[in-house]
Structure 1
Amino acid sequence: MIFCLLLAACTLTCLGQIAQKMAVESWRGAPAGILAKLATPWLWLALLCLGLGLLLWLLVLQHLEVGVAYPMLSLNFVLVTLVARFVFKEHVDARHWLGVGIVMAGVLLLGWQA
């Protein structure tokens, strides 16, 4: 159960990061005023996802030690890299993929002990 909450917190945080990217992309060519930027639906979606992710994170911290739980958030690096590569068509080199693999191995090791 707790790992489902942790995975949901990671997923919401990742979605929040993606929505932030979409928000700033939508600002290109848009009016420069702050009110126009604040009216961007992507910005509000980012805030919603990040806020819900924070609430779930607080639930996770009630049940797991922070020394175990916090490194698990490294899954966000993996998820965001996958989205960057396959959704935003960004180049991800071999060194980056190696880093993603090492992060995944670390998360697995930590998850095994919890």
Structure 2
Amino acid sequence: MASHVPAVTLPNGSKMPMVGLGTYQGRDDEMRRVLAWALECGYRHIDTAAVYQNEAEIGDVLHEWLSSGCIAREELFVVTKVRSSRSCGGTDTNVKSSYLIAPNFYPLYGSTVCFLRI
């Protein structure tokens, strides 16, 4: 899938797929199964937000896939949104911060959009 999806070039030169998996209302084991399926199908752009309260599940699945060597860090983009009163540092911890390479932060409509390059 990834080779057929248009990409946007971020300010750091990375090319992020324009089609991503939305995770709103995804919870618990269902979220884990859906994300694993999406990664298997080729999704490399995951969209989440702190308010969705599923970043721990997403982090668990990404940790499994990265640890097993099924995907490389360079292939993944996790986009999350947090209110401007919080920092992205508070949310990236939930997405397994040991796998983060270089978060990129962009203010957007009273929130901060974080493109977490993992």
Q: Normalising by the residue count of structure 1, what TM-score does the alignment of the two structures yield?
A: 0.29
Relative to its length, the structure with more helix (as a share) is: 1
Relative to its length, the structure with more strand (as a share) is: 2
Whichever of the two has the greater Rg, that structure is 1
Q: Normalising by the residue count of structure 2, what TM-score does the alignment of the two structures yield?
A: 0.28
Structure scoring higher RCO (CA < 8 A, sep ≥ 6) equals 1
